[in-house]
Amino acid sequence: MKRRLIFVAVIFFSLLSFEKSDKNLVCTSPDGAIKLLVETKNLAGKACFSIVFNHDTIVKATSLGIIVDDDQYSFASGLSLQNTEKKVIDEVYEMKTGKQLKRINHCNELLLRLKNPSENMVNLVFRVYDDGVAYRYELNNNQKIGIKKEYSEFHFNGISKIWASNYSKFDEQPFQKWRSVPEIVNTNLSFPVLVNTSSNYWVLVSEANVSNYPLSVGKFDGNHLYYTFPSAIEGINTVEQNYISPWRLMILGKDLNTIVESCLIDHLAPPTKIKDLSWVVPGITSFPWWGDNLANSNPESIKKYIDLSAAMNWRYVEFDIALIGSPSLSVEKWKSVNWIKDVTDYGKQKGVYCYGWDDFKNLNSPDKRKDIFQRYNDLGIVGIKVDFVDSYTQQTRSAVEELIRDAAQYRLMVSFHGAPSPRGFARQYPNVVTFEAVRGAEYYLTVNGEKGVTPQHNCTLPFTRNVLGSMDYTPVAFSSKIRQTTMAHELALSVIFESGWQVMCDVPESYLNSVAKPFLSQLQTAWDETKFLDGYPGEYCCLARRKGNTWFIAGINSGDARIVSLKLPISGSCSVQVYNDLDNGLNSLGSTEYSISGEKPFEITIQENGGFAMIVEISKTL
């Protein structure tokens, strides 16, 4: 009779040949700066890995493993190393959305094949990039098994500062800064977690390619940051044959530009199998609900926002059809309303397309999705915002993935609200154009002060949440009465924050009557290239994003006014209009002419909690 036991699976090497070896197994990054070392000597049979960057140890002796419920697939003492395999991954792929459309996935991979006493195999796979390290487990189980817990972690060789957010089911807690690890020991933290090491390197820890498996959270135990599951989903997670775990990863660099510009999360996701992606078109959208939560019940109100999008050269309007007749709850009334197609047709005539909104509970079965998605096709609605996912569980993750695949069958783009942060779905399923998973401008409607949206919070997001993928913050809230940011800060967020659907939250008159109308009318949302210019988490951030021959350059500030000196990614010189704060007031947005040059730094004063934004046509530089 087969025993059903729980084992702590800590990876061991027991081959005598390795015990006699004076060398570690080593895998280096393509540029040679990062070294992953799998230690094989004087470790009492335990295999550990460490990470060295430029001769500095960033991660020291770290053990790995899994707790399973079947001893024949347990990986504990008695393992033997069968062989190793090294290979180079070098591929080019393109994205429909994101910080960089053409991606180069280049790394070195080290695979260790291990056998347990039951003759079952596990592969431990490491990938080493110029900007980080990732690892995962590949089991050889020929039947379903239950995985209780992973012993997956990074053991830092000293930590100086940490930026992270407390775990929530929908990842909308603000990112906070801690100077002492003991302050957050045993606290559930949502990924990503940003670490500034004692040796002043920058590390962003997260996970990727989490398919049909629960999302994990981070916990500190001393300088160990390990992966675990929230208490709400404790219990065995059943996996199918030949289980492959999510990637556990760190983005690693000497400077913050490595963190901000990294595409590592997407590199670790599978390529898409969707052959025709012509219908996946990112764009700017207007957002009636923010200014009037009853707007979706009135066709004339929606048409007003369609007119706004048309006037601003924006492609979309968010038409929350499931809110017809209700300010805040999803209902069925929309299915019997006869004026919806009139609205969508009105938009198409003006080159503006509608996408809808619905509650996840209305889309959690194939029959429900077939009904709603077919209605969307019939009504001419091109996508859907799915709200209230609110779960890290394996069951929810599986249901979300089924929803995405079904939406693709109906050629519908998808946005997720009330959902955890992205883990690489944008590559595997390009019809997923954005996620919320952020405390955004929606909080301007209900929360004031430090518990709401702060300049400090905004200045942390480019280094944390937005690194993982598109972020539906719904920026540019000019008319908010409780914001602490200036109007130039709000304008700059449209560039600083990346999202496949960039949802402009404010009412029509705020944009149509704004000095920034020319800027917003040219705004883009899927970028060919992104450059980090300067900044520090929670204090300020300046970025440049390129679309074709045009650079959109912006900066935001938290706290007192500061002077920044930026090396711009242009050649030659020209004059440009810079949208900035004309004084220290919150409502003093203006436009000032500046001479800029690629040969010398661009110097500008960013006002208290302020910002700036400008557009530079490469063809206009001299």
What does DSSP say about strands 353-359 and 316-318: parallel, antiparallel, or unpaired? Answer: parallel
Q: What pLDDT sits at residue 367?
A: 97
> Is 78 a residue whose pLDDT tops 90?
no
Q: What pLDDT sits at residue 231?
A: 62
Q: What pLDDT sits at residue 1?
A: 32
In angstroms, the CA 446 to CA 126 distance is: 45
CB 599 within 8 A of CB 543: no
Q: Between 618 and 432, name the one with better pLDDT.
A: 432
Helical pair 299-311 and 340-349, crossing angle rounded to 10 deg:
10
CA atoms within a 13 Å half-sphere pointing along the CA-CB vector of 296: 27
Q: What pLDDT sits at residue 9?
A: 35
Q: What pLDDT sits at residue 450?
A: 76
Beta bridge partners of 122: 114, 139
Whole-number mean pLDDT of the chain? 91
Top-tier CATH class for 7-267: mainly beta
Name the CATH topology of 270-437.
TIM Barrel (3.20.20)
pLDDT tens digit string along 367-408?
Answer: 999 999 999 999 999 999 999 999 999 999 999 999 999 999
Query: Percent of the chain beyond pLDDT 90?
Result: 79
pLDDT tens digit string along 460-490?
Answer: 999 999 999 999 999 999 999 999 999 999 9
Quick one: which of 63, 36, 66 has its CA closest to 50?
36
> Is 583 a residue whose pLDDT tops 60?
yes
Tokens 């302020």 belong to residue: 610
Q: Between 620 and 206, name the one with better pLDDT.
A: 206
Q: What pLDDT sits at residue 74?
A: 65
Look up the pTM and report it.
0.94
> Is 317 a residue whose pLDDT tops 90?
yes
Distances (CA, A) of 356 to 298, 320, 386, 431, 503: 15, 5, 9, 14, 13
> Is 41 a residue whose pLDDT tops 60?
no
Q: What pLDDT sits at residue 47?
A: 61
In angstroms, the CA 484 to CA 556 distance is: 12
Domain ranges in the chain are 7-267, 270-437
Q: What is the mean pLDDT of residues 324-334?
A: 85
Q: What pLDDT sits at residue 327?
A: 74
Quick one: which of 264, 275, 313, 276 has its CA closest to 103?
264
Beta bridge partners of 394: none
pLDDT tens digit string along 131-144?
Answer: 999 999 998 888 89
pLDDT tens digit string along 278-301?
Answer: 999 999 999 999 999 999 999 999
Most confident of 121-130, 262-271, 580-589: 262-271
> Is 543 a residue whose pLDDT tops 50?
yes
Strands of the sheet containing 283-286, edge to edge, are: 432-435, 413-416, 383-387, 353-359, 316-318, 283-286, 501-504
Q: What pLDDT sits at residue 8?
A: 33
> Is 233 a residue whose pLDDT tops 80?
no
In angstroms, the CA 141 to CA 486 distance is: 57
Q: What pLDDT sits at residue 6?
A: 30
pLDDT confidence band for 2 (50 / 70 / 90): very low
Quick one: which of 455, 468, 434, 469 has its CA closest to 541?
455
pLDDT confidence band for 584 (50 / 70 / 90): confident
Lowest mean pLDDT among 113-117, 213-217, 372-376, 451-455: 113-117
pLDDT confidence band for 260 (50 / 70 / 90): very high
